[in-house]
Amino acid sequence: MKKLVAVLAVLGLLASCSTHRVADLNAPKPGASGTPMGDGDGGGDPGGGVPDYITLGLNPTSQLVHAGDPVYLDLRVTDDQLTPFTGYDGQPHVGFNTWQAFVDYDTTKLVVTPLVPVDNNNGCLMTGNCAGANGVYACGSTITYLTVGPASDPYNVPPLNIPAGQFYVLTSIQCYQTFVDAPGDIWHLRFRTKNDALGTTTIRAHNARFNNGIYYLPLPADVQATVTIGGAY
The pLDDT, as a whole number, for residue 231 is 74
User: In 3D, which of 210, 223, 219, 209 has the Cα closest to residue 35?
Assistant: 219
Measured at the alpha carbon of residue 223, what is the angle toward residues 222 and 228, in degrees to the nearest 5? 145
Domain 3-23+56-230 top-level CATH class: mainly beta
Q: Which residues contact 67 (CB under 8 A, 6 or more apart)?
A: 193, 194, 195, 196, 197, 198, 229, 230, 231, 232
Strand bridging mode 156-157 / 142-148:
unpaired
**What pLDDT is recorded for position 100?**
97
Give the per-residue pLDDT at 32. Answer: 26
Q: How far is CA 181 from CA 14, 17, 74, 168, 193, in A?
A: 18, 21, 16, 21, 32
So what's the pLDDT on residue 154? 79
pLDDT in tens, the chain (233 residues): 333 433 433 333 333 332 333 434 333 333 222 323 233 444 454 445 678 999 999 999 999 999 999 999 999 999 999 999 999 999 999 999 999 999 999 999 999 999 999 999 999 999 999 999 999 999 999 999 999 999 998 788 888 999 999 999 999 999 999 999 999 999 999 999 999 999 999 999 999 999 999 999 999 999 999 999 997 66
